Structure 1
């Protein structure tokens, strides 16, 4: 038997250490060559490490959340024969999102299931829920029935009652809501072909007093270790707020005409993706930023240098299962709204599924953030350092607006622009938003500009 020390290879230019975000093996496990053993994160990118040899794991470097220097021993294997000591190559694939994080003391291989497997499991669970609900109704009715001489045992009576009871039709969502509220669906009256949410509402309104209502459910206390992507987010935002003097300028935009234009274009989109508001906003920003180079910039405050970018590399704040990431639309100024829509969808999908590359997650010069319908009325976004500006898109809302002395219902939307006050003056921020507003309120001009 021989011992083989697998040392953490150089996984990125200028990287001195990497963080353990997941172990897929534990001490005592037998592994095959090229089997995934750990996920290591550096600067928002996660690298899957694979075993260069087949053998038994006899030692691991640390726990999830520990920082491991490049070149230090990550895993020690016990192998059958002599193996030349060499650094393992990089595993295929990088991801922005760390896999499930498991402490080393209780490491189990991470089970990965396809979307088809998950859907099948969810359908099985729903079927079990429906069967369990029907069985509970039958048992309840059996318990309520008076005992008779010579009657069969309780279990047989319950089974017979369940078999004879009419099947209660309701969607899984309705059943789940009834369970959460403590409602027996057998007591709910309904007029259609099945019990619906409106029937539950009526039951609560007129008979809700009969429902057993205890205190609100309470979660157990838990301590969550801040590791991986969540720790990177915390460090970056803390540093941004500590070093950057933020100010936020907000103004409202009448997007009635833009929404009409978007709807017309979507009616004749062909093979193109459906247009949201985001491609129009990015297109407008790119056209206006030509006159505001101080906003499309990055600031190296250690060196005292502001870099004004000629190209617009638009960061796109994207929510993932493990936290916020910022994929980058390269050279956004050279794309039309259809091309932007395709790139937005591609990058969002790659980021959420962990397939975005390191290059796709770095190098932005300005960032846009949008929560869609949940965008709220106003927001104060935090700058994605070392950039000097970030714009947040708030929700579109119909409001009464005075237009040429007449009251009209218009679709209005607020834009919130946060800037680094060391680089951008308030006048610059206000002027930028006003020029952007003129374009958005005149979509024909926006689409015709070259």
Structure 2
């Protein structure tokens, strides 16, 4: 006797309360193993794959790609039992792993997905069968039509939903083996970013021919469709004077929505102040060139600036802190978890380098590279985007000299680094052309006064101008 179990969107941790379905990894009729990832979702922190704690046959999915679901909402239903086949490997019959948090799992490789083909009558199907499913109001047995519903080896499907206990669940996707693709079927798109770009600009992917292999829809195809739509809009007759233009409405959700909430909270709660100084970075650039010429892994400029930050925070620990207003206390933190701002197609994210104070320049370079690539591909985990204690913001990559950034709540300070450009500079009593950078420190005035903030920034500038100052802290 099989049992239909409902798997709900689990608690994703880090205070997250909802997620958007980016891509389904299974379809109705697939056989899944315990802890096999079944859906890729995007939260306000990152994109993650959600594993299902049950093994069996997928009987229904809830929500199309692009749908936002709250934590606790149904994701899919799975028929489990004695005949669930290889899906039940790794656990007892009808049981799950008990793992309901993203990232948890048995660690065993998932079984290969197999399609369970629906039968057209009472005869046996060619694939593995699922025993009859007993519900609260009676048992659904055999195959074929049950009160007008499609049956997937004993599990009735009505209007695209699975019937469990005599109740039809709406919103599930019909299994792909039931016939040719229809308007609600899959489209040849792999990249979640392409789906998001199309969704945000109102492009119907089902009407868009793909230029990639086997009709795959590429980002260039979506961008061309957006441009064609813009040209048609420009060529359209102007609206009458009585019409009021609403403009383009862009939902604040996902990463962009989370950033908006955090920045708004920072502005409301943190009394920030900014100080800045110009520094001669010529010697720092020469030191980096000499390091990289000596062989071994290349050292990034960001890693050297991070090393300077951690040395400065050791001298001025009040800037590596947070404020607990409920207890009316400033909490000074022992470890430096260094965040750095990264601009991606999904918006601004701040990955965190754990224990930056304990890393050398090579280790920092490698970790910056790893996290930057994960940010670019949308593969950062919630844990890699939270828990920072201090942020380094290199806005010089945008070609600007200075900025007064908003502090990354609940941190207490952020160091900004502008572009490094040749400028006239008085060096050793003479006018010379030097590589000059503007450094700025935005800090929470509750944790320290201008003396500590100025001392921190001056020490950073001294290390930039004379890297040998760092030898004292090695």
* Fold similarity call, TM over 0.5: yes
> Aligned pair count?
345
Of the three residues 439, 445, 461, the one matched with 1:437 is 461
Corresponding residue of 2:295: 269
Corresponding residue of 1:242: 268
What whole-Å deviation, never above 9, does each CA across 1:94-129 have from its counterpart, x for those lacking one?
9xxxxxxxxx99674784379xxxxxx99989xxxx
Spell out the pairing of 1:348-359 with structure 2 (5 A cutoff).
348-359=372-383
Given that 1:439 and 1:446 are in contact with CA atoms closer than 8 Å, whether structure 2 keeps it comes out as yes
Given that 1:6 and 1:87 are in contact with CA atoms closer than 8 Å, whether structure 2 keeps it comes out as no
Structure 1 unaligned spans of 5+: 95-103, 115-120, 126-179, 181-214
Corresponding residue of 2:253: 227
What whole-Å deviation, never above 9, does each CA across 1:113-151 have from its counterpart, x for those lacking one?
79xxxxxx99989xxxxxxxxxxxxxxxxxxxxxxxxxx
Spell out the pairing of 1:321-332 with structure 2 (5 A cutoff).
321-332=345-356
Offset at residue 306 of structure 1 (A):
1.6
Given that 2:391 and 2:413 are in contact with CA atoms closer than 8 Å, whether structure 1 keeps it comes out as yes
Query: 2:24 aligned with 1:24, yes or no?
Result: yes
Indicate the SS of the match to 2:419. Answer: strand
Query: 2:282 aligned with 1:256, yes or no?
Result: yes
Call closer, same or farther: CA 1:235–1:39 in 2, change over 3 Å. farther
Call closer, same or farther: CA 1:123–1:351 in 2, change over 3 Å. same
Given that 1:284 and 1:436 are in contact with CA atoms closer than 8 Å, whether structure 2 keeps it comes out as yes
Indicate the SS of the match to 1:283. Answer: helix
Cα RMSD after superposing both structures: 4.1
Given that 1:18 and 1:40 are in contact with CA atoms closer than 8 Å, whether structure 2 keeps it comes out as no
TM norm structure 2: 0.62
Corresponding residue of 1:170: none
Aligned mates of 2:23, 2:185 — CA distance in 1: 6
Corresponding residue of 2:190: 112
Greater length-normalized contact order (CA 8 Å, ≥ 6 residues apart) = 1
Given that 2:353 and 2:367 are in contact with CA atoms closer than 8 Å, whether structure 1 keeps it comes out as yes
Given that 2:21 and 2:63 are in contact with CA atoms closer than 8 Å, whether structure 1 keeps it comes out as no
Call closer, same or farther: CA 1:32–1:219 in 2, change over 3 Å. farther
TM norm structure 1: 0.65
Given that 1:5 and 1:77 are in contact with CA atoms closer than 8 Å, whether structure 2 keeps it comes out as yes
Spell out the pairing of 1:52-71 with structure 2 (5 A cutoff).
52=54, 53-57=56-60, 59-60=62-63, 64-69=67-72
Structure 2 unaligned spans of 5+: 85-92, 105-172, 174-182, 193-209, 215-226, 237-246
Of the three residues 384, 387, 390, the one matched with 1:360 is 384
What whole-Å deviation, never above 9, does each CA across 1:270-310 have from its counterpart, x for those lacking one?
2x1x2232122111121122221111111222332221122
Offset at residue 353 of structure 1 (A):
2.9
Call closer, same or farther: CA 1:261–1:359 in 2, change over 3 Å. same
Offset at residue 337 of structure 1 (A):
1.7
Corresponding residue of 1:309: 333
What whole-Å deviation, never above 9, does each CA across 1:328-371 have from its counterpart, x for those lacking one?
22222222222221221122223333443443322211010113
